[in-house]
Homo-oligomer: A and B are copies of this chain.
Amino acid sequence: MLKDVVRTRSYQNVITQNSFLFKDKIVLDVGAGTGILSLFCAKAGAKHVYAIECSQMADMAKEIVKKNGFSDVITVIKGKVEEIELPVPKVDVIISEWMGYFLLFENMLDTVLYARDKWLVDDGVVLPDKASLHLTAIEDAEYKDDKIEFWNNVYGFDMSCIKKQAMMEPLVDTVDANQIVTNCQLLKTMDISKMSSGDASFTVPFKLVAERNDFIHALVAYFNVSFTKCHKLMGFSTGPRSKSTHWKQTVLYLEDVVTICEGETLSGSMTVAPNKKNPRDIDITLKYSIDGHRCKVSRTQQYKMR
């Protein structure tokens, strides 16, 4: 993931160019991994950085911190945020790279909110502090045939029952911007410094307007994050028109092929919630309809990210 240049360079630029946020501050790095963000913060003048990491990578992070001469500034704590003790009562800054596929997959946001409520001072800073989910629609005949319709005839056999399951699995893949048929719509904005855990479950309406005559095979979701406490607004987008990241985009195939004319609207709603059994998985319900010149459809589809 360090090789995702958009991701790591964005954090590096935020930290390096805004040392006023870190100078002499106590910083908490939630899910520190190799400790790269903690190292950036230490270099930017943090008084102390607590880097929490629950995987084996914590041992590597300790070695890396030592090797790079930051043992007196960075303390790596191996354990779960919900279970560990911090040596200080409060921190000034929480930094984390918690975003998963479709923003919310694997639900690490909950851990950041837990850390915020437990340790962040009243006027403390969360980085990033804004995240937004966006939706657009694409033409994708070739890949839908390859990934979904494939199951209709597999070496001469009918495996269409697998097709039903494949349809329910959002596909994480890179979408070519030329496939976009409609506008891109902001679905939901989250303020990480204020929101509660329950705000990650929501139903939001959408209206996608066709920018050309085309077919729609799938809706595509992606997210942006921003750091609004910087000297100037900073952040990055994982949308199909931006430089690609390891998050790619999330493709939700539609059961119907929608024939849409320029100016017509595909409207509906998206419901997002963590799965009740496995809160790291996400359930998505999509309702969509079009009452168009060449196509009338109204349907509800369920998806499970797992």
Contacts and interface: CB of A to CB of B under 8 A. Distances in A.
Contacts of A161: 60, 63-64, 67
29 contacts: A2-B154, A2-B155, A3-B150, A8-B155, A12-B155, A34-B154, A34-B159, A34-B162, A36-B154, A36-B155, A36-B157, A39-B157, A40-B155, A60-B159, A60-B161, A60-B162, A60-B165, A63-B161, A64-B157, A64-B158, A64-B159, A64-B161, A64-B162, A67-B158, A67-B159, A67-B160, A67-B161, A68-B157, A68-B158
A108 B149 CA distance: 30
A96 B162 CA distance: 21
Nearest to A66: B161
Contacts of A39: 157
Nearest to A11: B155
A95 to B, nearest CB: 15
Contacts of A162: 34, 60, 64
The bracket for how many chain A residues form the interface is 20 to 34
A15 B154 CA distance: 16
Contacts of A63: 161
Interface in A117-158: 150, 154-155, 157-158
A274 B8 CA distance: 37
Contacts of A155: 2, 8, 12, 36, 40
A161 B59 CA distance: 10
Contacts of A159: 34, 60, 64, 67
Interface string A17-40: 000000000000000001010011
A67 B3 CA distance: 46
Interface string A56-74: 0000100110011000000
Q: Which 4 A-B pairs have the closest CB atoms?
A: A63-B161, A68-B157, A67-B158, A64-B159
Contacts of A3: 150
Contacts of A158: 64, 67-68
A36 to B, nearest CB: 7
Contacts of A2: 154-155
